[in-house]
Chains A and B, each alone.
Chain A
Amino acid sequence: MLSERPFYRLLRHCVDRMFHGGEGSGTGEVDASIGVILAILAAPGAFVSLALVSKYGAFFLWFREYYVKDLVGSLRRGGESLHFDPFTASLPDQYFFIVLSMAVAAAVALWKWDSLLPDSHDYANLAHLPLRSRDIFFANLTTLLLLAAILSVDINAVSSVLFPLLACGSREVFSYTALFFGTHVVSVVLAAAFGFLGVLSVLAILMSALPYRAFRKASIYARSAVLIFLVALLTTSFSEPAKIERLERGASAWSRFPPPAYSFCRLVE
């Protein structure tokens, strides 16, 4: 059986360690099962998608386009009408989903910072067993890639279905919806993978460059810095899309550099 093979047992062990290991493990800390964790991670995307019903829902579109227009007369500002273009309207939301996906995945990596890579427990328990070092590290790498993939899908599972359906609901062209759906899924999944692997890269660089004690001290600062960056990313996500729109008109190019902005640029193109 597959589960009896040492490598697959090592894979399962790495998953256990990543979900249940780390500082404070086994000492009475709340231990959530994998299913609960995955459900919690999918929640933000689901909530945001549901909140967008008031923007894209058919009833609300009708209410804005017909009832409000009738109430205040024909509104024309600078030649613009109140006609709702779902593509234009969805640009800020698409950007936000990219940022949210990246931030949640990176937050998971920050949360499990201590258990992503083999540690002293692994050395103490596995080093004297008949296992090749490369098998241990390869199993850990495989687990990390699997985890990145699972996170990428899970964080965006609900929003990837709900948001495109909402945004494209007013369009009756299937190809448009399919293209929108595909673009959205690819961008948010890649954003999540980028967020997770980005934090992992920071961890790996620190671990490689610093002695153990310096690494333990630097970890606290590194995690705090990444957390502050993620909060800043989320809080500025509402103003970024407008800045990116102005890029086409020759505005400052600095907005291209933050990762979500770059992904968004490609998305828009």
Chain B
Amino acid sequence: MVVLEARELTKCYLPSVPAVRDLSFCLTEGQVLGFVGPNGSGKSTTVKMLTGLLQPTHGQVLWCGAAIQRDLLQYRKRLGYVPEEIDLYPFLSGWEYLELVGTLRGLPRKSLTAKIDALLALFSLAPHRHSAVGSYSKGMRQRIALIAALLHDPSLLILDEPLSGLDVTSAMIVKHLIQTLAERGKAILYCSHVLEVVEKVCSHVIVLRKGRTLAYGHPAELMKSAGQSSLEHAFAHLVEGDDAPQAARDIAAVMSSV
């Protein structure tokens, strides 16, 4: 069943410069859709349109067949979102922040408290739960943001660089969690620049460039069509980026020049 559909999404910040042009895709239950592209390709703009934070200039975002703008509140009740830039309230403790988010989402107090305690323990944050978020490391804040997105058992998850700042153990847990949630029927949109992870966790990948879809398909299909052995190389081939080894040599040469 199609959970989320983007239909000819277009966003123009300036009249002659569209940030996103005619982007269309479908996200079904149990699917993990990777969303990759170079800087400035329109990923963040697309994510904002998908979460309802930005109105598209043209096109629609459909949730179970209905435009999200018709009932944005209901859509957001089923949406869990982890933004790329985590900006939590520094004066709240981790526990207080999660309690705030859970209460604002209308979760019952009793079950909310139990869930928060359990998730904090599972993400190894229990010892720090009463410390101010302002004192947390980047990885700890990322884990709090992840917990906040999972508290209400969303059916759609939009994750923008969810592994940013996480240590190896936490990153492995999150990767397995994504696969587990997909097996349970959750629809997941995964945005990342780390293509090794995208290759492992995503069932399909969209490659964006200058606001347009450059490629769409299973990671193995993209690699085969580009004639490359990894998604990273396939991506570099598709976006026709700089020759990375040559660029690295040029940088080292400039560094050592007098």
A-to-B contact residues, CB < 8 Å: 1, 3-4, 6, 9-10, 13, 16-17, 20-21, 25-27, 31, 120-121, 124-132
Answer yes or no: B133 CB below 8 A from chain A CBs. yes
Answer yes or no: B81 CB below 8 A from chain A CBs. yes
A27 to B134 Cα, complex, angstroms: 6
The answer to whether B51 and A125 have CB atoms under 8 Å apart is: no
The answer to whether B89 and A21 have CB atoms under 8 Å apart is: yes
Q: Which residue of B lies closest to A122 (CB)?
A: B89
A109 to chain B, nearest CB (A): 19
The answer to whether B134 and A130 have CB atoms under 8 Å apart is: no
Which residues 72-95 of B sit at the A interface, judged by CB distance below 8 A? 72-74, 76-77, 79, 81, 83, 85, 87-92
Answer yes or no: B106 CB below 8 A from chain A CBs. yes
Q: A130 with B73: in contact, given A9-B100, A25-B134 (CB under 8 Å)?
A: yes
A152 to B95 Cα, complex, angstroms: 33
B-to-A contact residues, CB < 8 Å: 51-53, 72-74, 76-77, 79, 81, 83, 85, 87-92, 100-101, 103-106, 108-109, 132-135
Q: A120 with B87: in contact, given A126-B104, A130-B74 (CB under 8 Å)?
A: yes
The answer to whether A4 and B89 have CB atoms under 8 Å apart is: no
The answer to whether B91 and A26 have CB atoms under 8 Å apart is: yes
The answer to whether A1 and B109 have CB atoms under 8 Å apart is: yes
The answer to whether B106 and A6 have CB atoms under 8 Å apart is: yes
Q: A9 with B87: in contact, given A4-B108, A16-B92 (CB under 8 Å)?
A: no
The answer to whether A129 and B91 have CB atoms under 8 Å apart is: no
A127 to B51 Cα, complex, angstroms: 9
Contacts of B79 in A (CB 8 A): 128
Q: A16 with B101: in contact, given A4-B108, A128-B51 (CB under 8 Å)?
A: no
A245 to B104 Cα, complex, angstroms: 56
Which of B83, B89, B92, B101 lies in contact with A129, CB distance below 8 A?
B101
A124 to B103 Cα, complex, angstroms: 17
Q: Which residue of B lies closest to A132 (CB)?
A: B73
Which of B89, B90, B109 lies in contact with A27, CB distance below 8 A?
B90
Counting from the closest, the 10 A-B pairs by CB-CB distance are A26-B134, A26-B90, A124-B87, A20-B91, A130-B76, A9-B103, A25-B91, A26-B132, A26-B91, A130-B73
Contacts of B100 in A (CB 8 A): 9, 13
Q: A17 with B91: in contact, given A4-B109, A130-B77, A132-B73 (CB under 8 Å)?
A: yes
A127 to B85 Cα, complex, angstroms: 14
Which of A17, A127, A128 lies in contact with B89, CB distance below 8 A?
A17
Contacts of B104 in A (CB 8 A): 6, 9-10, 126, 129-131
11 residue pairs A–B, Cβ–Cβ below 8 Å = A3-B103, A4-B103, A9-B104, A10-B104, A16-B91, A16-B92, A25-B91, A121-B89, A124-B87, A128-B81, A130-B104
B8 to chain A, nearest CB (A): 23
Contacts of A3 in B (CB 8 A): 103
The answer to whether A26 and B87 have CB atoms under 8 Å apart is: no
Contacts of A16 in B (CB 8 A): 91-92
Q: List 10 additional A-B contacts (Cβ < 8 Å) besides A6-B104, A25-B90, A128-B76.
A: A1-B109, A6-B103, A6-B106, A9-B103, A9-B104, A25-B91, A26-B92, A125-B88, A127-B53, A130-B104
A28 to chain B, nearest CB (A): 8
The answer to whether A125 and B134 have CB atoms under 8 Å apart is: no
